[in-house]
Amino acid sequence: MIVRLILLILLAFLGYTAINAIQRFFVGSANRDQDDSDTMVPCAQCATYIPVDSALKRKHAGKIYYFCNKNCLDLYRKQP
């Protein structure tokens, strides 16, 4: 009787640990994804902040410039 109770507690503990580990794995990877898309960069033309993932990138003189859309990129390139 007591042995069965101990086994039950042990199983419950193992299940709890496993669920915790799985949750931590999924939450951890979700956080990593969010960190990447959360990085905001200013548009070099209109100074609007956009997520780095959706920004247009243009390397110029060793520096990377970000643009919110193609219009801004074209305007920036037309400048002297």
Q: Which of 75, 66, 76, 37 is nearest to 53 (CA)?
A: 37
- Give the three-state DSSP class for 51: strand
Instruction: Output the smallest distance, CB 77 to Zn ion, in A.
Output: 13
Distance CA 47, CA 68 (A): 9
Instruction: Output the smallest distance, CB 68 to Zn ion, in A.
Output: 3
Instruction: Output the smallest distance, CB 72 to Zn ion, in A.
Output: 3
Tell whether residue 43 is a contact of Zn ion (CB under 5 A).
Answer: yes
Site string for Zn ion, 51-80 (x = CB under 5 A): -----------------x---x--------
Nearest CB to Zn ion, comparing residues 48 and 51? 48
Residues ≥6 apart with Cβ < 8 Å to 55: 41, 43, 66, 67, 68
- Tell me which residues touch Zn ion (CB under 5 A): 43, 45-46, 48, 68, 72
